[in-house]
Amino acid sequence: MEMTARERVEAALDGREVDRPPVSLWRHFPERDQTAEDLAASTLEWQALLDLDFIKLMPPGDYATIDWGARSEYQGAPGGTRETVHYPVQEAEDWANIQPVPADAGFNAEVVRACSLVRDALGPDIPILQTIFSPLTIANKMSNGRVIDHLRTHPEAVHQALEVIQKVTMAVTKASLQRGADGAFFASQCATSDLVTRDEYREFGVAYDEPLMAAIGEDGSRFTLVHIHGTNTYFDVLAGYDAHALNWHDRRVGPAIVDVLSKYPGRAVVAGIDEKGIVTMTPYEAQRQTESARSDARDRRLLIGPGCVIPVAAPLENLKAVVHSARR
């Protein structure tokens, strides 16, 4: 019997049999993500185009820094991300200026309100995930990477700021869940030896991630998806967080889907699609990539999705090939 999108997603997360694996794809909407109305309209157009089983809301990647004074502009990045042109943290002393900001005002409120607008338009059946960045990732974004030096030279200043960022992020997540989101796409972009040591990530990452993850669960998330970003990641650390599913660059970086399903049996995976390769592959290759993911997972605990954000130039016929192949 054919399942609804929500039934399909819930069954996949639980490891139960599905009529077919759920599928979702996500990309940025440059210049159409600066208000709740524009972001909602772009999201709904995307959903009308592809009829996805769940939606990852795509606010601008710098959204969590804006209410602290960051400014950005779109300069044509292939991924649709905006370039920050003003960073609120330049020197270590600037961390003291990171004080609490509300979830119901400023740009945070726009991102939260987008949840409500999308939910009202779609009705109850399609799960929606709000994009939530880890506190250290937000600190990295607002300082142009200077936080990595500062956590070594001025650790107390960084700890104080991370505590503030964590509490604001908790408030934004809770407000999003109250306004229509089913869960959170929790993204950490700093859990990698390319930036910090394992001990440094435990002190400045895990210490703030884990209480946030616990709060997400306590606030009623029914679908918490951890995105493990980058190369040389501390995969085991993030895979141990309290979440329903994992998402990572399975095609470009690894590990393979079968290895993750085997090593972390309590987790579902959102994987299978090369997020950059989909720009240049043929529709047949996109179809085959989806089919191989389904074969590897045997359609259990698998939700078809990209390893990260899909470039804005990805051909529509390739995206439709992925969705069609997931539905065969």
Q: Is the pLDDT of residue 235 over 90?
A: yes
**Predicted local confidence at residue 314, as pLDDT:** 98
Over residues 67-121, the pLDDT tens digits come to 999 999 999 999 999 999 999 999 999 999 999 999 999 999 999 999 999 999 9
Rounded distance between C-alpha atoms, residue 260 and residue 246, angstroms = 9
Confidence of residue 1 (pLDDT cuts 50, 70, 90): confident
Q: What is the mean pLDDT of residues 284-292?
A: 98
Confidence of residue 292 (pLDDT cuts 50, 70, 90): very high
Q: What is the mean pLDDT of residues 194-199?
A: 98
**Predicted local confidence at residue 227, as pLDDT:** 98
Domain map of the chain by residue range? 5-326
Q: Is the pLDDT of residue 209 over 90?
A: yes
Distance of CA 101 to the CA centre of its chain: 22
Confidence of residue 180 (pLDDT cuts 50, 70, 90): very high
Q: What is the mean pLDDT of residues 8-19?
A: 98
**Predicted local confidence at residue 136, as pLDDT:** 99
Average model confidence (pLDDT) across the chain:
98
Indicate the CATH number of 5-326 among 3.20.20.210, 1.25.40.10, 1.20.1050.10, 3.50.50.60: 3.20.20.210
Rounded distance between C-alpha atoms, residue 91 and residue 173, angstroms = 29
Over residues 24-45, the pLDDT tens digits come to 999 999 999 999 999 999 999 9
